[in-house]
Amino acid sequence: MKNDVVIVGGGITSLMTAYHLLNRGITPVIVEKNYLGSGATGRCGGGIRQQWSTAENIILARESVKFWERFDEEIGGNAHFRQGGYLVLVYSDEKRYIENVKLQNSLGVPSQWLSPEEAKEIVPYLNIENLIGATYCPTDGVAYPFSVVFSLEKYLTKRGVKILKKAEVLDFKYSDGIVEEVITNRDKLKAENVLIAAGAWSRLLLEKLGKKIPNQPYRHEILATEVMKPWLKPMVISFDTGIYFSQTYRGEIVGGIGMPEQPGYKLNSTLDFIKRFASVATKIIPAMKYLRVVRQWAGFYDVTPDARPILDRVEGFENVYVACGYSGHGFMISPEVGKIMAQMITGEAISHDISNLSMDRFKKGVITKEANVVG
Amino acid sequence: MKIVCRCNDVTEEDIIRVIEEGHTDIEEIKRILMIGTGPCQGNTCMIHLARIVAKYTKKYEITTVRPPETPVELGVFADEE
């Protein structure tokens, strides 16, 4: 049997694309080398933010928020999506943030500039010493990655999507720019179309097709504290220090901070990370020094030179597509990315101008970097 | 009803239901039920979870152990300034 679409990777991009393909009458097959969400998806902080510095990211996030708002209704599970907003703390270069707010407002995102005192109204425990101000978007929020993954798994399998777990793609059989088979450690899957959505491993899969992309995997560490009653409404984030943290629906604080890292496939946890997170977090909210850390772990950022994703058909191939390179913000924009990839695969008109997210943009020389990233 | 995870109130029946739904990887089961992610760090429940899963999969495995070994206040790690 020939499969219409084989999706390599079982993370959020894959699941969302599968959802949008189903809406178009196509039942894809998902191939995952471990379990669903075992890559970056299940390791991420679950933040959903529209406060970006580039138009594409703002639009992708804005449209995605509309989906997150109706996820439970549409999918039938529970994303635990909570719109407590994102509070971006600003300690330098406020001009840039005010420009960002202008751009975001022009694209319909209701972000605003706040004085330190106004920021403190949103987070009463906030230490506003040295704080110039903050930007705040009340419709930003957080969702719970594993609740999202397992809700989607149920939805998709009920509708006939085959999900092969513990199936690792080893190679592709192709000729004349057409992939015919996806070869896994268990099976050979005949494919009409192939989508590579394997996060930080996408570049290795593309190499098997003789294609190179400049993505690099960077470890990003994160931790969770003990559970408390709700006290923190927004996701608190600062690009000056690279820290972010929010409270999940379970009541734990989940947060991370950018560390100096070399690219590579390592995922061990470090004491340096926990020390740096603790030092910065307890300056922002001194009362957090009494909070106990329960768990720390790490995941990969699949980082491109401009910190923006690659959403494209693989050059030189007629039936292979790639969606990767989110540089740490794939989860939040996945609903709209899934739609775009489903449109691309079915040959429909794509809802957005994604020419800046092409695979070959790095060869052309001029790229605009997304500035609002941590880590 | 047999309580397995006291932190997050997970029973043996919950675990069996999730296995029968097709989730046989212990890492997956941990994340669906949040078993072992409470303040005990899995120290009281993990051996029971491993035993129950092994009955079905014939493989005795535990999940990745995450530091710190016991809950520690952030203030202990923060720089004094």
* pLDDT tens track for A191-232: 999 999 999 999 999 999 999 999 999 999 999 999 999 999
Radius of gyration of chain A (CA): 20
Structural domain including B65 reads: 3-78
Interface of A with B (CB under 8 A): 34-38, 42, 146, 150, 165-166, 224-227, 250, 269, 271, 274-275, 277-279, 281-282, 288-297
Q: Enter the pTM of the model.
A: 0.96
Tell me the pairing of strands A235-238 and A86-90. Answer: parallel
pLDDT at A365 over 80: no
Quote the number of domains for chain B.
1
Tell me which chain B residues have a C-beta less than 8 angstroms from the C-beta of A166.
Answer: 25
Predicted pLDDT at A373: 84
Q: Do residue A35 and residue B27 have CB atoms under 8 angstroms apart?
A: yes
Question: Half-sphere exposure of A153 toward its Cβ, with a 13 Å CA cutoff?
Answer: 21
Peptide bond preceding B68: is omega within 30 degrees of 0, i.e. cis? Answer: yes
* Backbone angles phi and psi of A167, in degrees to 5: -115, 110
Q: Which residue of A has its CA nearest to B26?
A: A35
Predicted pLDDT at A153: 97
Q: Do residue B37 and residue A294 have CB atoms under 8 angstroms apart?
A: yes
Predicted pLDDT at A232: 98
**Of A51, A74, A126, which is closest to residue A332 (Cα–Cα)?**
A51
Strands, DSSP E only, in A80-215?
86-90, 112-114, 133-137, 141-142, 162-164, 169-175, 178-184, 188-196
Tell me which chain B residues have a C-beta less than 8 angstroms from the C-beta of A146.
Answer: 31-32
Minimal Cβ distance to B68: which of A146, A227, A293 = A293
Tokens of B71: 């809950």
- Cα separation, B34 vs B9, in Å, equals 9
pLDDT at B81 over 60: no
Q: Which residue of A has its CA nearest to B18?
A: A150
Distance from CA of A146 to the nearest CA of B (A): 7
Distances (CA, A) of A103 to A66, A111, A356: 19, 10, 17
- Cα separation, A314 vs A34, in Å, equals 25
Q: Which residue of A has its CA nearest to B73?
A: A292
Predicted pLDDT at A82: 97
Distance from CA of B1 to the nearest CA of A (A): 24
Q: Please provide the size of chain B in residues.
A: 81
Question: Half-sphere exposure of A15 toward its Cβ, with a 13 Å CA cutoff?
Answer: 29
Distance from CA of B2 to the nearest CA of A (A): 23
Q: What is the band of A18 on the pLDDT scale with cuts at 50, 70, 90?
A: very high
User: Percent of chain A beyond pLDDT 90?
Assistant: 95
Q: Across the A/B interface, how many CB contacts are shorter than 8 Å?
A: 81
CATH number at residue B64: 1.10.10.1100
Q: Which of A116-120, A280-284, A314-318, B36-40 has the lowest mean pLDDT?
A: B36-40
Digit-coded pLDDT (tens) for A38-81: 999 999 999 999 999 999 999 999 999 999 999 999 999 999 99
Query: Would you report the helix, strand and coil content of chain A in percent, each value rounded to 5?
Result: 30, 25, 40
Predicted pLDDT at A233: 98
Average pLDDT of the residues in A162-176: 97
Predicted pLDDT at A245: 98
- Cα separation, A194 vs A189, in Å, equals 10
pLDDT at A248 over 70: yes
pLDDT at A375 over 70: no
DSSP-assigned beta bridge partners for residue A5: A193
Q: Which of B5, B77, B80, B81 to probe the A interface (max A CBs under 10 A)?
A: B77
Q: Are A100 and A52 in contact (CB under 8 A)?
A: yes
Q: What is the band of A372 on the pLDDT scale with cuts at 50, 70, 90?
A: confident
Tokens of A291: 């909070």
Tell me the pairing of strands A188-196 and A320-324. Answer: parallel
Chain A CB within 8 Å of residue B32 CB: yes
Predicted pLDDT at A370: 85
* Backbone angles phi and psi of A301, in degrees to 5: -90, 130
- Angle CA(A35)–CA(A179)–CA(A365) in degrees, nearest 5? 90
Q: Which of A35-39, A41-45, A157-161, B76-80 has the lowest mean pLDDT?
A: B76-80
- Cα separation, A160 vs A153, in Å, equals 11
Provide DSSP, chain B. Answer: --EEETTTTEEHHHHHHHHHTT---HHHHHHHH-TT-STTTTTTTHHHHHHHHHHHHS----PPPPSPSS-EEHHHHSPP-
pLDDT at B80 over 80: no
Predicted pLDDT at A3: 85
For residue A32, count other CB atoms closer than 10 A to its CB. Answer: 24
Tell me the pairing of strands A243-247 and A178-184. Answer: unpaired
Q: Are A29 and A7 in contact (CB under 8 A)?
A: yes
* Mean pLDDT computed over every residue of chain A: 96
Predicted pLDDT at A367: 76
Average pLDDT of the residues in A342-350: 97
For the purposes of burial, counting CB atoms within 10 Å of the CB of A157, is it exposed (0-12), middle (13-18) or buried (19 or more)?
A: middle
Predicted pLDDT at A1: 65
Average pLDDT of the residues in B56-78: 94
Digit-coded pLDDT (tens) for A292-340: 999 999 999 999 999 999 999 999 999 999 999 999 999 999 999 999 9
Distances (CA, A) of B10 to B3, B42, B66, B68: 6, 12, 20, 23
For the purposes of burial, counting CB atoms within 10 Å of the CB of A367, is it exposed (0-12), middle (13-18) or buried (19 or more)?
A: middle
Minimal Cβ distance to A289: which of B25, B71, B73 = B73
DSSP-assigned beta bridge partners for residue B31: none
Distance from CA of A36 to the nearest CA of B (A): 8
Predicted pLDDT at A151: 97
